[in-house]
Amino acid sequence: MPYITVGKENSGTIDLYYEDHGAGKPVVLIHGWPLSSKSWEKQVPALLDAGYRVVAYDRRGFGNSAKPTFGYDYDTQAEDLHRVMTELDLDNATLVGFSMGGGEVARYLGTYGSERVERAVFISAILPFLLKTDDNPEGVEGSVFDEFMEGVAADRPAFLSRFLSNFYNVDVFSGNRVSDEVVRLSWNVAAAASPIGTLDCVPAWLTDFRDDLRSIDVPVLVIHGDADRIVPFAASGKRIPGLVRESRLVVIEGGPHGITWTHAERVNRELLNFLGQEVLEAQPFAANPT
């Protein structure tokens, strides 16, 4: 299996597992928590059929990647993405971040710029700043994240079952847009992740990405379900366009968090339409207000 080494912990290397298929302009897929690159099952064939090179990797601690006891902050994760981009020498790429993966995309662009990137996509992303504060009243109460951490620490397998039920809005879509087997597959992938990494990622969700978003100088597509129980649309996707220079917001009516599966046709159609649009040279831009 192909790996990229991004660090070391004691006697072992920290290796990221990746898959690299197809030809054409690269599309880099960054998965959400607590899953792996397997979660892009519905998107990879559509992108390959449309003539794109598709790169999907597993975040450290998840999937087939190494499971170190550190590095679950967004600066490190953006550095990991940077290593993927440079090791594979990817240019004119589209970065697609789902949920937590949206944070990698935003922090990467905020830190390393868009030299290698042509456009970006945020799907069910945790941006711009999830924590409710005095200057971020639209955010989510801190107690919600405390409950996540308590649930993971107390009984991670049981927590994952509850989480995935809300991830797919199983009470609404079971037997229709999502099967019991899909939920079971997701549980198996999530349960195999690093317990430490699963827990330590949660505080990273409180990262403030507002400045990162303001710095983005490539076209952005935002796709979010308005029935998302994990990352509420009003606190996230709805707010992203106000902070980026050039963006398009697609709201999927009734869509849960896991729209890449439950509403794959719509997600793929919007993604491919966005990829097919001409990218014009960036124009000088005055920063958006907060």
Q: 82 catalytic, yes or no?
A: no
Rounded Cα–Cα distance for residues 97 and 100 (Å): 7
Select which of 31, 65, 80, 257 is catalytic.
257
CA distances from 289 to 107, 132, 135, 212, 222 (A): 19, 19, 13, 14, 19
Nearest to 260 by CA among 117, 106, 96, 107: 96
Q: Take residue 100 and report the two structure tokens written for it.
A: 């937590």
Partner residues linked to 5 by β-bridges: 15
Q: Are residues 102 and 127 in contact, defined by beta-carbon separation less than 8 angstroms?
A: yes
CA distances from 52 to 87, 170, 211 (A): 19, 32, 30
Rounded Cα–Cα distance for residues 64 and 35 (Å): 11
Select which of 58, 228, 236, 263 is catalytic.
228
Q: 124 catalytic, yes or no?
A: no
Q: 257 catalytic, yes or no?
A: yes
Partner residues linked to 220 by β-bridges: 120, 247
Q: Are residues 59 and 80 in contact, defined by beta-carbon separation less than 8 angstroms?
A: yes
Rounded Cα–Cα distance for residues 220 and 245 (Å): 8
Distance from the Cα of residue 235 to its chain's centroid: 16
Select which of 37, 39, 65, 99 is catalytic.
99
User: Which residue do the tokens 């868009």 mark?
Assistant: 114
So which residues are the catalytic ones?
99, 228, 257
